[in-house]
A and B are shown apart, each in its own frame.
Chain A
Amino acid sequence: MAPMKNKYMNPYLAGTLLGLVLLLAMVLSGRGLGASGGIKYCVVSIVGALDRGHADKSAYYSKYFENGQKPLRNWLPIEVLGILAGGFISGAVSKRLKFKIEKAPGISRARRLVFAFIGGLFFVYGAQLARGCTSGAALSGMAVLSLAGFVTMIAIFGSAYVFAWFFRKNWI
C-alpha cells in the first residue's frame, strides 16, 4: 500500500459516521442530507434582495416568496451553514486549516481555479435538474431505496468516468 500520512479517518469508519448522521436526519427530520439545494436557496435569496420585481414576475423565483416566506429560512440553507461549521471544526481538530489552492503540479493555479468555477457551474446546474446532488439524491436516495437515487448516482459516476480521460491533465 502506498505510504500515506495517517491523518484522515479510516474510510469505513468515516462512512459509518456519515451513515449515522444521515440516519439521524431521517429519524429527526424525516429527510436525507443535501447541499446543492442550499446553494439554490442562497441564489434565490440574493436575487430577491437585489431585484425583487424580477423575482416576483418569474414563475421559478416567485414560489419561494409566496406568503412572505424567506427563502433562507429553510432546512437546506441552514444545514449548509452547519456543513461549513462542521468542516471547520474538523479542520481545526485535525490541523488542516490553511488557505491554499489545491491542484496538480502540472497545471497553473489559474487553470485550476477556472476549472473549479466551471465545474461548480455544471454540477449545480445538473443538480437542479436532477433534483439533488451526490448527497441529496444519490446518498440519501440510496438510503431510502429510491430508484431516482440509484439512477442519478449511476449517471453521475458513469459520466465522470467517461469525462475523466478528457480532463486527466488536470489531475494526474
Chain B
Amino acid sequence: MAPVSTLPGFPAELDLLIGFIIGIGFGFALEQAGFSSSRKLAGMFYGYDTTVIKVFFTAAIVALVGSQFLSYFGILNLNNVFVNEYYVGAAIVGGIIMGAGFIMGGYCPGTGLSALSIGKIDALCYFFGGLTGAFLFAETYPMIEELANGSYRGPVKVNEVLGVSPGLFTFILIAAAIVMFWLAELAEKRFARPDISSEL
C-alpha cells in the first residue's frame, strides 16, 4: 500500500530521484501559474490579482480529496503520510514573521525559486536573503529554542479538534473555498489595476 517509499526494500536513492521529479512538477506548476512574478504574488494583498488564493486552495483541496479517496479504497495508507506537528507558539510567531517577509520580498521560497529559475534578479536577492535567514536562525538557535520547541501538541488534525469526520471537514473546506473564489473575482474587479496587470 502506498506511500511507495514505505514499501519494504525500497531504496533510499530512488526516493531522492522521486523528490527531484516532484520538484520539477512543483516548479513547473508554480511558474505556469505565474508565481514567478513577485508583483503578481503581491497583488493578492492589494486586491488587483487574486491568483494566489485560487491556486493555493485548489491545490490543497485537490490533494486532500484525492488522498482521501485513495485512502478509502485502501490504496494509500494515510497513517504513513507525514502530518505537520503543532507547536503553538512557533507556528503563530513563525507565520507572522513569514507574512512580513512575504510582503517585503514578494516571494515565498517555492515561488522565489521558480522566479530565480527564469532569471529574476530580485529572486536571486531573495534567495541570498533566505540563506542568510536560515544562517541567522541556526546561529541564534539557543535564543529561540524555547519558543521553537514549546507547547508541543503533536500531529493534531483539524477534524479531530472539531470532532467531525475528515470527509465532512473536507466538504466544509470546499464550500468555504468556493465562497473565497467568488469573493476573489469580485475583489479583482473592485481593486483592479490594469496598469499593473498588463505588465505581469
Contact = CB atoms under 8 A, between A and B. Distances in A.
Do A and B touch, yes or no (CB under 8 Å, in the complex)? yes
Interface of A: 1-5, 8-9, 11-12, 14-33, 35-36, 38-40, 42-44, 46-47, 58-61, 73-76, 78-91, 94, 96-104, 112-164, 167-168, 170-172
Contacts of A164: 45-46, 103
A101 B112 CA distance: 13
B64 A11 contact: no
A91 B86 contact: no
A130 B18 CA distance: 25
Contact of B39 (A104, A113, A129): A104
B158 A118 contact: no
Contacts of B55: 11-12, 14-15, 18
Nearest to A145: B157
Interface in B1-41: 2-6, 15-34, 36-39
A16 B25 CA distance: 12
Nearest to A14: B33
Contacts of A171: 39, 42-43, 45-46, 106
B87 to A, nearest CB: 7
11 contacts: A11-B51, A42-B131, A83-B117, A84-B114, A87-B28, A102-B38, A130-B91, A140-B63, A141-B83, A143-B67, A156-B95
